Every structure is written in C-alpha cells, then in structure tokens.
C-alpha cells in the first residue's frame, strides 16, 4: 500500500477497531480517503476522537484526521465504496449479516480476518460470497504485522482469496508452536526446521482442500509464516510463548489482550485433518498440549519426529 492518492477520494468503512483494522483504516485515511472506523466500544471511539489514537490496540500511533470512529453500523457502511471487515472469525458472519442490507449495490467487500469459521469450516471470503453474492469480494493476506504497518514500515500484501486465506489462517497454528519452542529455549536451527516443516504441513492440508500449492511459496504463505513465527508482535506467537513459560491457555490469552485466531483454527484443523486422514504431526502435537492437557515436555520432543520426506512436500505436488 502506498501513500500516493490515485484517483478521487473514496468513502471507506472498516468494521472492527482492533490493531489491524485501525492500521488499515489509517492508511486509507492518510491517502486522502474518507474513512469510518466502526467499533463497539464507546470509550475506544471517544479516545480516538479526543486523543487521535487507538489507545487500547495501537497506543502511541497518531491517526489521520480523515479517520472517524463510529458506533452505528448504518452510519459506517451505508454510502461506502468499499467495506473492510476486520472482526474476529467467530463474529464475522453476524457482523456481515447486519451490514449487507445497508450496502450500496456497488460496494466492494474485503476481509482482513485470518481465520476459519467455527462449525462450518468456511473461510471469510466464502462467508462474504454466501451473504453478499452480488458484491465484489476479496481478502488481504501476507506478512502484515499491524504495529509495523502503523509505523509506516515497508510491507507487502496480497489481495486474493481461498488459498491465500487458508495460508493466512493456518500459519497462526505454527506461530503458536514456534512461540512455545522459543520459550522452551529451542535453538535457532530447531526453530528453522519447525518453520520448514510447518510450511510443508500447512500446504499439504490446503492442497487436499483444493488450494494451489504455489500459493504457499509466496507472500501469503512463506512470507506470512516467517514473520508470524519469528516476531513477538504476533499475537499467536506470544500465546505460544506464554504457554511455554507455564501459563494456562486462559492466562496466555488474557496476557495477549487480543484475539489469537490460531487457538480456534487449531481445533478445527485438527478435526478436519483427522476426518480426512491428513498427516499433520505438528498440529497434532500442539492440539495434545492445548486441548488434551498433555505435558509440554512429553510432546515437545515428538514435534520433530516423523517422516523426514514430508519436509519436501512440494516435490510431490506436480510442480
């Protein structure tokens, strides 16, 4: 995303006042567009109006005067040219259901949420297609840490759907694993091996669901995986790190203070992989720790066990 203003200003709505939604809203506002940031918290909205920053999720980052916080969904979306949806996956369908009847026919819908819907295993673009089939639809994914975007660091992203979305959702599982590995003091070599196996594992799963394996060699795959698995700015990495330090899952989530999509994604992916017979030893090991209360020490040593040939998954993908 550049800061050059190309064409006439657009009216943009961003649904969700978390760190990533706020960062994207601010980029659009800085580029001269009229931006409404919809959120549920009246206190958060007042902080933005009076202090010019999202003090809860992006403290210390000044927001553009073109960004207006709103609490009313109709006010946010009714005349928008484009609506970005940045709410957690578990609330995604409900929010979109409320928003769609309020949209203009030309309004485009773009998901910023990297997750999978609980129960249905639907991706966010699939939910948008379900609820708004007449609208242009896409999603944003890639190595995009919200605080670095807010700090105007150079970033690259992908706008597409399905395979890109699967990559963005799946990598959160492996960020938890690498955070846990870091807390346990595993060496850089070990963590590099875990990330390599993670890429093979997530692509293996996605290909079985119909994705193109080449997607995982680009920004939305290996790019996003690397940054999420190596940065303490990543919520999922921090959840894993805190669990590795001895916190319970509930304590770790509370310390992070924001939604870590990888927790719910892990449960759904484990169930789907078991159902389809997909080999995913890393995800299975993490599932045993988080959902079956298996001792970390007992499972950690098994995370790198298994068939080494599975590390070169792309060799058998017909590429």
Structure tokens at 297: 């020490």
- Catalytic residue positions? 171
21 CB neighbour count, 10 Å cutoff: 25
Find residue 111's DSSP bridge partners: 85, 139
Name 72's Cβ contacts closer than 8 Å, sequence gap at least 6: 38
Residues with Cβ within 8 Å of 173's Cβ and at least 6 positions away in sequence, in order, are: 198, 202, 236, 262, 265, 266, 269, 282, 283, 286
Lookup: tokens for 188 = 């850089």
Dist. CA 275–CA 263, nearest whole Å: 19
* Beta-carbon-side half-sphere exposure of residue 265 (alpha carbons within 13 Å): 28
């Amino acid at each position: 995303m550049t800061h050059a203003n190309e064409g006439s200003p657009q009216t943009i709505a961003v649904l969700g006042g978390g760190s990533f939604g706020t960062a994207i809203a601010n980029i659009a506002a800085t580029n001269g567009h009229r931006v409404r940031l919809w959120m549920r918290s009246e206190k958060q909205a007042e902080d933005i109006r009076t202090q010019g920053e999202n003090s809860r999720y992006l403290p210390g980052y000044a927001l553009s005067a073109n960004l207006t916080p709103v609490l009313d969904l109709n006010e946010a979306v009714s005349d928008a040219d484009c609506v970005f949806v940045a709410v957690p996956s578990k609330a995604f369908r409900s929010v979109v259901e409320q928003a769609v009847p309020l949209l203009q026919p030309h309004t485009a819908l773009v998901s910023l949420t990297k997750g999978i819907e609980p129960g249905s295993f639907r991706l966010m673009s699939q939910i948008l297609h379900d609820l708004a089939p007449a609208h242009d639809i896409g999603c944003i994914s890639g190595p995009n840490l919200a605080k670095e975007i807010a700090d105007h660091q150079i970033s690259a992203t992908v706008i597409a759907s399905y395979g890109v979305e699967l990559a963005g959702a799946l990598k959160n599982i492996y960020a938890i694993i690498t955070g846990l590995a870091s807390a346990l003091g595993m060496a850089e070599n070990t963590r590099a091996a875990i990330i390599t196996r993670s890429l093979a594992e997530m692509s293996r799963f996605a290909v079985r669901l119909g994705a193109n394996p080449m997607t995982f060699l680009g920004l939305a795959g290996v790019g996003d995986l690397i940054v999420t698995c190596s940065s303490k700015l990543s919520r999922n990495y921090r959840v894993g790190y805190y669990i590795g330090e001895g916190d319970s899952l509930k304590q770790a989530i509370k310390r992070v203070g924001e939604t870590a999509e990888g927790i719910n994604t892990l449960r759904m992916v484990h169930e789907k992989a078991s159902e389809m017979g997909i080999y995913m030893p890393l995800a299975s090991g993490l599932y045993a720790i988080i959902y079956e209360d298996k001792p970390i020490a007992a499972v950690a040593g098994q995370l790198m066990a298994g068939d080494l040939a599975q590390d070169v998954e792309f060799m058998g993908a017909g590429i």
